[in-house]
Amino acid sequence: MSAERALVLGCGYVGLRLARALSAEGVSVTGTTRSAGRFGEIAAAGARPELMDTGDPASLAALLRPTPEVVFDTVRPLRTGADAYTVESTRAIVDALAERPPGAAVYVGSTSVYGRRGGEWTDEATPIDPVSPAGVARAGAEALYLDAWRVRGLPVRVCRVPGIYGPGRTLRQRLETGAYLRVDDESHVVSRIHVDDLVAGLIAAWRRGRAGQVYLLCDDRPVTGGEYARLTAGLLDLPLPASVARADIRHELSAGAFERRTADRRCSNRRMREELGVALRYPTVHQGVPAALAEEGAV
């Protein structure tokens, strides 16, 4: 039997870990980038590197012949200004996939589509209500996918993802360089997920997910930004900077950055656990952050 084929559109931070996990399962993986300079790290993750830019639809169409069993899309809406985005990158991908539908299309979206939740529990049935420009673009991008399922039968799974952390994506560097900004002691609650659990969720969404379905991929226990920062600083034996008042920094941040810093959502992973059967390796940041810092060689 020939190997299953996966196409990872955007082999960046998540895409590389995804490619490595798929290839360890015996899946034949192609991973894309816009820059040939990144071919080495994509090949090292076990994937065949290819150039792809959503601005050049031919580069995308060529990757769909023959049609892979699954396509993972990690490409975010393109930034067109300080607080402006376009979903044209997603539209180019959705149109190409709808022309030659793979067995499944797994879209990596964002929980920013929910907007402000005042710390309330949030799940797939919660109405979306984005407020930040990035959140509005994300809502537009996932609508393109869900419409392609309804109208053109593209077997999509939309995965909404909160803050991703893992090796190379911890607070360490910002704490070490003093770039970490502590706002109101980061008292808002947010959900997170370790990149390896995210990868497990994305693969489960492909293998066990239902077409046209939305999945929230997050860990078991949302924590405040303050708890997250104290955890990281404590493990590294680093001091936390003084907290600044939200009102004092409002004018220093773009609308999008301010929104990210004040998001307050508790996300439920019930559907991920029950429908997709994902057993988290890092149920909370208290397991995941030490593991990530250890993999960085920092602790």
Binding site for ligand NAP (CB under 6 A): 10-15, 33-35, 38, 52-54, 74-76, 78, 89, 108, 110, 161, 163-164
In the bound state with ligand NAP, the residue whose beta carbon lies nearer, of 91 and 221, is 91
In the bound state with ligand NAP, the residue whose beta carbon lies nearer, of 220 and 248, is 220
Compute the least distance from the CB of residue 153 to ligand NAP, in Å.
Answer: 24
Pairing of strands 163-165, 47-51: unpaired
In the bound state with ligand NAP, the residue whose beta carbon lies nearer, of 73 and 251, is 73
Position of minimal CB gap to ligand NAP: 12
Burial call 111-134: b when 16+ CB within 10 Å, e when fewer:
bbbbbbbeeeebebebebebebbb
Kindly write down the DSSP assignment for every residue of 235-249, as one continuous string: HHT-PPPPPB-HHHH
Compute the least distance from the CB of residue 3 to ligand NAP, in Å.
Answer: 23
Contact 83, 256 (CB under 8 A): yes
Contact 180, 172 (CB under 8 A): no
Compute the least distance from the CB of residue 2 to ligand NAP, in Å.
Answer: 27
Tell me which residue of 228, 225, 292 sits closest to 265, measured CA to CA: 225
Compute the least distance from the CB of residue 126 to ligand NAP, in Å.
Answer: 16
Compute the least distance from the CB of residue 247 to ligand NAP, in Å.
Answer: 25
In the bound state with ligand NAP, the residue whose beta carbon lies nearer, of 75 and 154, is 75
In the bound state with ligand NAP, the residue whose beta carbon lies nearer, of 38 and 174, is 38
The SS3 of residue 51 is strand
Compute the least distance from the CB of residue 1 to ligand NAP, in Å.
Answer: 30
In the bound state with ligand NAP, the residue whose beta carbon lies nearer, of 51 and 298, is 51
Tell me which residue of 14, 53, 65 sits closest to 169, measured CA to CA: 14
Strand partners, 122: 267
Distance of alpha carbon 25 from alpha carbon 62, whole angstroms: 25
Strand partners, 9: 73
Distance of alpha carbon 31 from alpha carbon 290, whole angstroms: 29
Contact 149, 212 (CB under 8 A): yes
